[in-house]
Each structure stands twice: as C-alpha cells, then as structure tokens.
Amino acid sequence: QDGEPIRIQFHVPYHVNEDCVFPIIQHGFEAADAATNIHVRATQPIYRPRVLGIISHYPLFEQFEKTLVQVLEACRDNYDQGGGGRGEDALIIERIIAMLVHKLAVPIPGRFGVAFSIRNEYIGCSLSTVRNPFLSAFPLKALFDVLSVENILIVFSALVHESRVVFHSHSLKALTVTAQCFLQLLYPMSWTFTYIPVLPVEGIMALQSLAPFIIGVPSDVFMTLEEPPENVFVVDLNQNRVLTPSLHD
C-alpha cells in the first residue's frame, strides 16, 4: 500500500515434540548470541515468519504486483472454504511458484508476450524492443505522482546533457520506477552510462564518480552523507524537490 511493494508474509513451522532451544526473532533477524536463546516446551507448534517476493530484471511491476495479490487471495479463498492450514497455504504458494518459474516462457522483446491466469485474474506480459514510451505498458503516471512537470523537465534536461543525477526516497519502489520512467522518456535516445536504480550502502562511494550516472539511494542512506556530491543533480522524491549543482552552495 501507499506505493510500497506488496510482500506476502507466511510462517514455517518448527517440528518439535519436546523441550528445545530456539533463537529469539528480533526485528526479523535471528539473535546470534547463545545467551539470548530460551527454553520452551513445545506443547503447540512454533512458527517463524517468511516473506514471499518477486525478484526480476524485467520492469514488469504491475504484473508482479497482480501476481502477488492473487497468491494472497488464493490463500484467503482456501481459508474461507474451510482450509487455512499452514501446510495447505504453503502448498498453494508452491504450486503457483512452480507454474511461474518452470512452466512460463520468458517474453521476447518485440516478438511475443506471455499471458497466464491465477484464479480468475488474467495477467499479460510483453516487452518492447525499444524504450518507446508510446509502445510501453510501463506506468509512466508513477513519475508524475512524485515529481512536478517542472522538475521532470529539469531532470530530463540534465540527463540529455549527460549529467550526474541521484534520486533519493524512503520508498525503494519509487526509486526503481522513477529511474525506469526517465529511461523511457529518453527515447529515441538511450542511456549508456552507469545506471543503478537502488544503490546499497556499501556502494555509496559510487556517488563520487566523475562519469555520468543515474543512481537511486534510500533516503536514510543518503542522509548519512556529510554533504551532497559535487556537480550532481539531487532529486528528492519525498518532497518533490530538485537540487541543482549551482544550488549546492
């Protein structure tokens, strides 16, 4: 919701029938210190959370979102029909994943697409041979949801002049979608320089590169910088602001 990726959380059981020791789960990470382990009597099943997501280098955000929603709805239908056991839900999820990974062909740009259905939802996937915004099903509206027309033109001009542009946002989805939208708008030109939609904290030094780039950085990581990189257009997707190199001082 609110522009964030959809993730499905389910639980995997620990199968234990006697006293056991297991690590406390803290903020999604297992406590490594043995001193934090606790003894429990396994009178009932113990579950630990798992998250299901889709990772792909194909920019099919809407299709992936529909797929995850239908996986969730399939599990809900099972529960409403008297099922709802965690083992049954896991089986439903595994069947859908097997279909997506092993049975579906990969769409070939400009030649053929792929269509499939989950429950009664029809999902079609196709890729254009070029990044023509008029031929693409990519959600360009998402770009105008986070930036004004004036700021879009400023960033577009910076990219045409092969400048260095860094986006930062609290939303990882906004970073990827915005960067992809600008690649679409550059048609019939193409971006041949560094392109990193989401830069991990370990690669923060990439912002010091002198070559043109498009880089997205999570806002919490960007805020750790003592000052913005020199001669870089900084685009704040949270506040709809563009800091041009001349304004850094």
Q: At what angle do helices 86-98 and 61-80 cross, to 10 degrees?
A: 150
Q: How far apart are CA 145 and CA 147, in angstroms?
A: 6
Q: Does residue 186 sit in helix, strand or coil?
A: coil
Q: What is the model's pTM?
A: 0.63
Token pair of 226, please?
Answer: 């003592």
**pLDDT value for 125:** 83
| Residue 53 exposed, middle or buried by CB count within 10 Å (0-12, 13-18, 19+) | exposed
Amino acid letter, residue 225: L
- 56, 5 in Cβ contact below 8 A? no
* Unique residue bearing structure tokens 């803290």: 26
Read off the DSSP letter of residue 228: P
∠ Cα 177 121 86 (to 5°): 90
Which residues of the chain are under the pLDDT cut of 70?
A: 1-50, 78-90, 129-138, 246-249
Amino acid letter, residue 137: A
- 69, 6 in Cβ contact below 8 A? yes
pLDDT tens-digit profile of 128-138?
766 555 555 56
- 12, 94 in Cβ contact below 8 A? no
**pLDDT value for 137:** 56
